[in-house]
Chain A
């Protein structure tokens, strides 16, 4: 498999009060959906803001689409034209009407299709008729506001989507729909489009996650293709008498009357030789939790 990256970052650094973002190497593979996973305050939003170019107070090098620097991003309109960003907070001004979002979008982006936008608005149940387009942003529910942002970026012809917590405000049905939209987006231009999204709902998004970047304490604690991570880590269950031995090997473990279970590196599983164990492929959420816990325990 020939792999190239849609975003490459080096020594990204930003300090703010007690918080520090310190990413020595960032790679987002081209043609895939990448999940940015981490606790609150791990630096996901900050990183996404930096990548989207709506925050400029950082140090470090960035490369987009294999050819543009972050300086190009702020000078050559084509770079941001190709990036669709959705985020929480003051995204659209709260007193704008849906119709204004449409008009402003068509002025901001050459690739914005008013027709497509309207289709998405109807499709995602944001508007039913023309009258609904006079709805104010501040009167929309969180879910509808999220859907409107998604409609806004899908109505454009982009190569990269950066989405900050797209699943959080959505109901389970809509989350499923979101996964479908991401797959469709990737499929439409086979291999040319990429998505990077942050999420707390790892389980809901696992079926659309190709590559995972797990953040903790402002750093990248683990990154890789999900299928590779599932081979790198292993889920182990064992007998109560081996708990002491297992403690040294496992990243995280829970113990109970009938034994212990937890996650460890596959290469370390040999150290449990002689113990009676059952091994299993872990889920992405299990891996993420293990990596985050391991990381925070290491840093005290």
Chain B
């Protein structure tokens, strides 16, 4: 595990470590505690409003970490047999970090509202954010990634508004956990598949 975390950290720049891992999430958590969790107490939509910020940040910040990796060759990683395992570790630890942060969000909301749906929304954020990575990791530019993240936020909010007060059942929690696990595995596998595929020529690439 120590080596896996090391691999993950190697993919993070100092700026990402400070802003991406600490300051921005801290700001979001503080805001959640003082504003959104109160809203969550009376009206469940506070969960979705707070969640929307976390979701946006989770999708968008991937640009600084993996920088549209599905559209890249990253030949350097292929010059060592350790390259793909290193990437796999980094991707997996990154997902664990995302899960942890989503759960912190849920826990903050839960301390005030005491509503189990806080955890359902946390899982939904994770599910949606990680699911979207399978698209955004193909996008090379900041703007495209930001637009996609924004789109995801809109969909998430609309879904939240439409299903207000309908979340929090045990069955839903179980289904969400299973789905989160599945989407995690698929997302890591997806990037590795892309990397393995780049060992073989594709029609869209230059051939000399």
Whether chain A touches chain B in the assembled complex (some CB pair under 8 Å)? yes
Residue of A with least CB distance to B81: A77
Counting CB contacts under 8 A, is A294 at the interface? no
CB distance A89 to B73 under 8 Å?
yes
Which residues in B have some Cβ–Cβ distance to A below 8 Å? Answer: 3, 6-7, 9-14, 63-64, 67, 69, 72-83, 86, 199-201, 203, 207-208
CB distance B14 to A107 under 8 Å?
no
CB distance B79 to A100 under 8 Å?
no
**Which of B7, B13, B203 has most A Cβ within 10 Å?**
B13
CB distance B75 to A87 under 8 Å?
yes
CB distance B72 to A45 under 8 Å?
no
CB distance B10 to A95 under 8 Å?
no
Contacts of B72 in A (CB 8 A): 90, 93-94
CB distance A107 to B200 under 8 Å?
no
CB distance A55 to B200 under 8 Å?
yes
Given the contacts A80-B81, A108-B86, A97 and B207 also touching, CB distance less than 8 Å: no
Number of interface residues, chain A, beta carbon within 8 A: 45
Question: How distant is A78 from chain B, measured CB to nearest CB, in Å?
Answer: 9
Counting CB contacts under 8 A, is A299 at the interface? no
Stretch from A46-54, A169-177, A201-209, A250-258 at the B interface = A46-54
30 A-B residue pairs with CB within 8 Å? A16-B207, A42-B208, A45-B208, A55-B200, A55-B201, A57-B200, A57-B201, A77-B80, A77-B81, A77-B82, A80-B80, A83-B79, A84-B79, A85-B79, A87-B75, A89-B73, A90-B72, A91-B75, A92-B76, A93-B72, A94-B72, A95-B63, A99-B13, A104-B86, A107-B7, A107-B10, A107-B82, A108-B79, A108-B80, A108-B82
Contacts of B76 in A (CB 8 A): 91-93, 104, 108, 152
Bound Cα distance from A266 to B153, whole angstroms: 75
Contacts of A77 in B (CB 8 A): 80-82
Residue of A with least CB distance to B63: A95
CB distance A80 to B79 under 8 Å?
yes
**Which of A42, A92, A95 has most B Cβ within 10 Å?**
A95
CB distance B208 to A108 under 8 Å?
no
Counting CB contacts under 8 A, is A139 at the interface? no
Question: How distant is B136 from chain A, measured CB to nearest CB, in Å?
Answer: 14
Q: Indicate which residue in B86, B199, B207 contacts A54 across the interface (CB closer than 8 Å).
A: B199
Bound Cα distance from A52 to B203, whole angstroms: 21
Counting CB contacts under 8 A, is A68 at the interface? no
Counting CB contacts under 8 A, is A103 at the interface? yes
CB distance B80 to A81 under 8 Å?
yes
Residue of B with least CB distance to A153: B79
CB distance A90 to B73 under 8 Å?
yes
Question: How distant is B14 from chain A, measured CB to nearest CB, in Å?
Answer: 6
Contacts of B86 in A (CB 8 A): 104, 107-108
Residue of B with least CB distance to A133: B14
Bound Cα distance from A44 to B208, whole angstroms: 7
**Which of A54, A74, A96 has most B Cβ within 10 Å?**
A54
**Which of A87, A91, A99 has most B Cβ within 10 Å?**
A91
Question: How distant is A142 from chain B, measured CB to nearest CB, in Å?
Answer: 16
Given the contacts A89-B75, A107-B7, A134-B13, A40 and B208 also touching, CB distance less than 8 Å: yes
